[in-house]
Amino acid sequence: LEANLTNIVKFLNELNEEEIVEVICEDYEIYSRFSFSTPSTLSELAIKILEQANGNKVLDLCSYVGNFLTKYASKYKNYSYTGIEINYHNNILTEEKLSAQKVLADVISDNVLGYKFYKSYDKIFCNYPFSLKLQEKDYDAINKNNKKLDIEFSKRITSDWVFISSVINALAENGKAVTIMPNGVLYK
């Protein structure tokens, strides 16, 4: 163990500040049943699509460990970044990555479902968990904060549409959003 720590310290001492930030923010694409993040290729594609919109307020709904936000922040330091994620431990990783990049960021530990948005965002990315089972109590909060769609969510609507509704509720009038979703959402 001591030899490993010595090698790690030696390795870090040989890096400059930019290289250390790169190591911290790297997406090592280690996924498990309980830990998920957006692959780099999807983040890069989403950034290209979102850059067609004006504005600099970026939101990542279900931000997991912040891979999309850190990838975006590495290209555009002067933007304002917000991530909303229910998993507190993931938020700590996201905060550390964005702090290392020295960007303006707000990482919110909350449930995207039923979250009340107090401001609008120019660019939104959402890679939500598919086929999430909602509880009865979730529907009250969801319907209370659904301000842009003239529908009431019930058990008949899949959670996919609730996440999409959150994206719509947070989107600025001329904003652009990218949402990753399964095929079934389009015809169910």
Cα separation of 79 and 94, whole Å? 16
Mean pLDDT of 1-9: 78
Mean pLDDT of 172-188: 87
**Structure confidence at residue 171 (pLDDT):** 95
**Structure confidence at residue 153 (pLDDT):** 62
- 56-60, 100-104, 119-123: range with lowest mean pLDDT: 100-104
Q: How would you class 29 by CB atoms within 10 Å of its CB: exposed for 0-12, middle for 13-18, buried for 19 or more?
A: exposed
Which two three-digit tokens encode residue 1?
Answer: 């163990």
**Structure confidence at residue 28 (pLDDT):** 56
102 pLDDT higher than 50:
yes
Cα separation of 80 and 103, whole Å? 8
- Predicted structure pTM score: 0.80
**Structure confidence at residue 108 (pLDDT):** 95
**Structure confidence at residue 176 (pLDDT):** 97
**Structure confidence at residue 23 (pLDDT):** 64
**Structure confidence at residue 32 (pLDDT):** 45
**Hey, which residues does 105 pair with through a beta bridge?**
81
DSSP assigned state of 184: G
